[in-house]
A and B are shown apart, each in its own frame.
Chain A
């Protein structure tokens, strides 16, 4: 495992550097005039003054070559300076870190809920494939995957904030405000985890070492959880690593619906206003967190799966 960790940590700077090039280039392929977009995000200007546009380009270095702009940005980032937001004219770090923190809490909480609900449900369903619970879970999982977040979120608000006024409908900052966005965001990974664990557990229960364990007199419940469920967890762990990065920057719908001031919403607004420093720093942060989450997930999966651990050596 140490060797795997070292290999991955050595590869991390390469991944981040490649990501940095991409996050620098991608917004520039949008075809938008950044200075014009910045001006319109500030004043909704339909008929901009060319002198003002030129001044903005000069002020933000947008009149230089792409290479000059990239080296200036990358050098500043390496020195720990994420730049100044074009829209708010305040340091990007002051916008990014709070939003990233909110999204991390939202995403990790959603993945924990998804795991707590999805994994036991999948193992339980694998105990009797085709049974009542298995069929109910299959239906629920299909719904969890198919129902869009904006529909599920709305139904949850109507039920738990309007009909039964138990929870607030919008906002962020208190545990009660986190419940509905977390549940909405957790539905999809929970459904996927349940399906994955069910399939993996059924597969594991058919393996020879499980038959041996049964022959040794191990109880059905112990076989199910110790041999089936544990192996299935490796897939769920790997999936969580992938989900963390995706949900971190991609939970825009949930963040907008529940007015959560997270990274998805920050990036959404930044993209609309061509706020390049925020877009670049936000995407780079997502890449770094996703890469770290991937490494962590791989290590956890190795810890859970002795066969894979042997192969990794």
Chain B
């Protein structure tokens, strides 16, 4: 028979257990993050990155964003969410004929390994990029070729006049590597970039070590070195930040990010150029009837979706383009109006005697989508629409979607194809001949509205077209934009940390460790 534990010892044990548990929980809820706030000269940072290299740092793949964020590589042109091209490795550019642009190179720039940045080096890099078997979105299908124009300039030609070529060359994929990088496939990235940080050690998909590029052409980087660990699990990134293993953790869920509230924490959250929308199949009933589409739009409470269903991790959408871009809507979405939705449905012939039943499809690769689908289902039910949710693999469903074999589909889509210009998305997703027109929307008026984009170079003039296009899509209820995704991260005792909605910058010369 077991010996009984004396009552006093038992109570001590209970207290000790309770203290242990509460200590753990308190630590879990808080964190230190305190410090003097002074910049540590030549400091080092460890970053827990959300996405690692999936293709051996190949510059023609999405790995280019990793290199760009780490400050390793740079393109000819820089750009921000305002959609305007700015000088980077090229200081100025001009159209020399309808199909050709000339880019003057920044003088005195060398690659991290000492090779000079020349017209020949730039032409080599761009031609290699355009010639890969699957060119990246920014340069796909435009027939890009580059030729040196002396040692200090390059001429870039396309098969048809391209009004946004400078913006295309701001894509992370178009970063310029030294000619020696292309001796291997994928191109070597150690010492072959021009950015403020140089890779000193690559450790597969686990981590990368960087040190300051002492010959950087721009502002001297504050940091002497950076270690980037690729931690795909958001919970693990949060734990790494809490444990002090990381100074910056990218892409934390909103609820987790809010736990880091100490003085030393920098909690960054910005709207990303990505919209979760209800796609409505206009090629067949019931959504071929605009009144039914209007009823869906009226039934959905988008503010509740962003602020409650997704706990503030998304911005309620009033139109396709959101606050991530200068031409996006800053307005709140219209409030839900279930009564109006019922009236519209009644006008379209649906009601208690003939309820509207539809299938609402979505996929789970993006965890917010099933949550949104469930919330939307409830909102539609309140308006008299019975939606059956079907969650499945997107790739397996894509052919049905493109062929118009669906009712309603909830999808998340970036509206910028790596460059801050929405022309490509508008053309592929919403024109009569668009190759990705899942809504099956066809309006000659809308197509005509986009026509000036083939010639307009000025970003402001193009953005005016984007604004009018978004308004037209709203008027025709081409799907229902629900929320814009947020991008975020938390830094501990760091200065100069910002989140780039275009996911191109992170380690910049101004980023520093604070004490």
A residues sitting closer than 8 Å to B (CB atoms) are: 31-33, 36-37, 39-47, 49, 52, 55-56, 59, 87-90, 95, 98, 131-132, 135, 150, 154-155, 157-159, 161-163, 165, 168-173, 256-259, 261, 265-266, 269, 273
Contact = CB atoms under 8 A, between A and B. Distances in A.
Contacts of B413: 46
Contacts of B428: 47
Interface stretch (B21-29, B92-100, B322-330, B457-465): B21-29
B245 A168 contact: yes
Interface residues of B, number: 50
Contact of A257 (B233, B396, B435): B233
B186 A88 contact: yes
B24 A42 contact: no
B230 A89 contact: no
A154 B24 contact: no
A150 B236 CA distance: 10
Given A89-B56, A259-B229, A52 B133 contact: yes
A257 B48 CA distance: 12
Q: Which 5 A-B pairs have the closest CB atoms?
A: A132-B2, A88-B56, A161-B243, A169-B243, A47-B436
Interface in B224-257: 229-233, 235-236, 239-240, 242-246
A162 B27 contact: yes
Interface in B154-196: 185-186
B215 interface: no
A89 B60 CA distance: 12
A87 B236 contact: no
Contacts of B54: 41-42, 87-88, 269, 273
B219 interface: no
Most buried by A among B48, B54, B134: B134
Interface stretch (B72-80, B104-112, B203-211): B203-211
Nearest to A31: B396
Contacts of B137: 43, 45
Contact of B55 (A41, A150, A159): A41
Contacts of A132: 2-3
B447 to A, nearest CB: 17
Nearest to A35: B134
A171 B49 CA distance: 12
A41 B62 CA distance: 8
Contacts of A171: 206-207, 229, 245
B206 A172 contact: yes
Contacts of A56: 133-134
Given A41-B55, A55-B133, A90-B56, A162 B239 contact: yes
A170 B3 contact: no
B361 to A, nearest CB: 16
Contacts of A172: 206
B133 A168 contact: no
B61 interface: yes
Contact of A169 (B58, B134, B239): B239
B384 interface: no
Given A157-B239, A170-B239, A162 B28 contact: yes
B141 interface: yes
A266 B135 CA distance: 25
Contacts, number: 139
B141 A49 contact: yes
Given A88-B58, A265-B232, 11 more contacts: A36-B395, A44-B62, A45-B134, A55-B133, A88-B56, A131-B2, A162-B28, A169-B245, A170-B246, A261-B204, A273-B54
B28 to A, nearest CB: 5
Contact of B239 (A40, A46, A154, A173): A154
B58 A158 contact: no
Nearest to B398: A36
A163 B20 CA distance: 10
Interface string B1-28: 0110000000000000000000110011
A37 B395 contact: yes
A165 B244 CA distance: 9
Contacts of A150: 235
A52 B134 contact: yes
B85 interface: no
A89 B27 contact: no
A46 B24 contact: no
A74 B379 CA distance: 54
A224 B240 CA distance: 45
A282 to B, nearest CB: 14
Nearest to A172: B206
A122 B21 CA distance: 28
B441 to A, nearest CB: 15
A172 B141 CA distance: 42
B357 interface: no
Contact of A39 (B134, B246, B393): B134
Most buried by A among B24, B56, B61, B239: B239
Given A41-B54, A169-B239, A158 B24 contact: yes
B129 to A, nearest CB: 12
B83 interface: no
Contacts of B61: 42-43
Contacts of A98: 204
Nearest to B231: A259
B469 to A, nearest CB: 18
Contacts of B239: 154, 157-158, 161-162, 169-170
Most buried by B among A36, A154, A157: A157
A47 B435 contact: yes
B477 to A, nearest CB: 22
B390 interface: no
B220 interface: no
B136 interface: yes
Contact of A163 (B23, B207, B229): B23
Given A42-B60, A89-B56, A261-B206, A154 B134 contact: no
A32 B396 CA distance: 6
Interface in B399-433: 413, 428
A290 to B, nearest CB: 24
Nearest to B30: A162
Contact of A89 (B23, B136, B185): B185
A95 to B, nearest CB: 8
Nearest to A40: B395
Contacts of A41: 54-55
Contacts of B235: 150, 154, 257
B250 to A, nearest CB: 13
10 contacts: A31-B393, A32-B396, A42-B58, A87-B55, A88-B58, A98-B204, A154-B235, A158-B242, A169-B240, A259-B206
B284 interface: no
Nearest to A58: B133
Contacts of A163: 23-24, 27
